[in-house]
Structure 1
């Protein structure tokens, strides 16, 4: 379960301000709230936007702190479970964002794009124009120049493979420990049930013998 989040849009902030705790018949109220929200002046929306922006920053900080209360291998297992649930229910299920988990390397072109943006080598125009210009720049590179990015990707891919294997190994240990703990609890439950059953039989036998 993800941690509770504060409202992250001006609209949701406005709703929380307008709806009173325990208020009933929200269907009709939402129509009123929506109508009044649309009539707000820009200066009235500004504090709502500011609150939403501040909430997003707080939510991100809390989310990161919550994620880090769990080990990366536990997050890995939780995400696996969420993906299985998504496939089973055919619904979108959000996975947990964890920067500690290994990320697969993209292709050489992606490595080039990232390096150009990191070095401030964008055109300064729109994103579409920038990507188009960088695409032309990539096509103009020699094979030797492209090979340096391919080497970077190969190195990153090898690191990813090693890191994800380490995560999977640790996750298997957690699964084994959880299985042992579950079996232990099941055995304890069976022992208690058997003990109670034996006690009932003993009492029944004693009652029968006393008659």
Structure 2
């Protein structure tokens, strides 16, 4: 049994040799028997097993080290494959295929409108200042106006070409005017009349350089400025801002008199209210108007209606727009 087992191992382990070499076969057989007997010893068996493991490990590491060195062709192939493969966790979108367009023309792209700027919200004080500025624009600036006097002419002359202060100049002019001879007074009065005529001529030319409707709006604006911008001085006197005096223009139309105002003027011109104060005469006139009958009031109402129709036609002709048009400020 032992010999048969040894022969079976020899058939598996020993390389193929010629069966005719009997001497070599006998030596191999004897060596195998001695090796078999030696392996039965525990220390020798362990040593043999360790030797086989070391030999197998060295062969495996040598083969692995040799296989880890890729060639240039392999490197290029790996790079191409890595470039084609998508990154992990990302899905590649399928390529869009261009559709063949028919003979119809493509629709033009809509132009995007620019964003509108949002207007800043104004405070009540800012709104009031803005409105007041617009009212001042419609009020117009007029040239110097008024009647000149000998004193104004003298002060104007004294202010020219002097390096003295205003206070000193006015003081000297007042002393000079006080000591005027009659001839000097006559001379300065003549200069004052000429200056007044020049001012009046310049003022009329300025008024006529504007349309009647511009003058009408200017007077409305001046009334509003006088009502809202007037101040009180330290002495308690009311001070009006500049350019608030109403502009004189003969082209302006006067609205028709109401029935009551027409009746009150008629009573005032009759002489019955002579030496009666305005307040008391107003109370008497109001009581008389209330006591009138409907037929007595009709006379004044018909006169007002006729004047009203005439005023409408004249308003359209003079100002260029119908009555009741909205004021632009």
TM-score (norm 2): 0.36
- Higher helix residue share: 1
Conservation of the 8 A alpha-carbon contact between 2:148 and 2:192: yes
Higher relative contact order (CA 8 A, sep 6+): 1
Conservation of the 8 A alpha-carbon contact between 2:216 and 2:252: yes
Conservation of the 8 A alpha-carbon contact between 2:312 and 2:322: no
Deviation at 1:173, TM superposition (A): 8.1
Q: C-alpha distance in 1, partners of 2:223/2:264?
A: 29
Q: Paired residues, what number?
A: 148
Q: Deviations over 1:137-194 (max 9, x none)?
A: x9xxxxxxxxxxx89x85994377426753374894894xxx9xxxxxxxxxxxxxxx
Higher-Rg structure is 2
Q: 1:62 to 1:24 in 2, by over 3 A?
A: same
Q: C-alpha distance in 2, partners of 1:2/1:9?
A: 20
Deviation at 1:68, TM superposition (A): 0.7
Q: Deviations over 1:49-107 (max 9, x none)?
A: 11111222221111111111110101111111111111111243212111110134685
Q: Deviations over 1:115-155 (max 9, x none)?
A: xxxxxxxxxxxxxxxx9xx958x9xxxxxxxxxxx89x859
Q: Partner of 1:96 in structure 2?
A: 247
Q: 1:77 to 1:40 in 2, by over 3 A?
A: same
One of 174, 185, 194 as aligned partner of 1:34: 174
Moved more, 27-36 or 14-23: 14-23
Q: C-alpha distance in 1, partners of 2:305/2:179?
A: 56
Conservation of the 8 A alpha-carbon contact between 1:5 and 1:59: yes
TM-score (norm 1): 0.53
Q: 1:154 to 1:33 in 2, by over 3 A?
A: same
One of 87, 91, 103 as aligned partner of 2:227: 87
Q: C-alpha distance in 2, partners of 1:8/1:154?
A: 42
| Unpaired segments ≥5 residues, structure 2 | 1-140, 231-238, 275-299
Q: 1:29 to 1:69 in 2, by over 3 A?
A: same
Q: C-alpha distance in 2, partners of 1:172/1:87?
A: 22
Q: Partner of 1:162 in structure 2?
A: 312
Q: Partner of 1:75 in structure 2?
A: 215
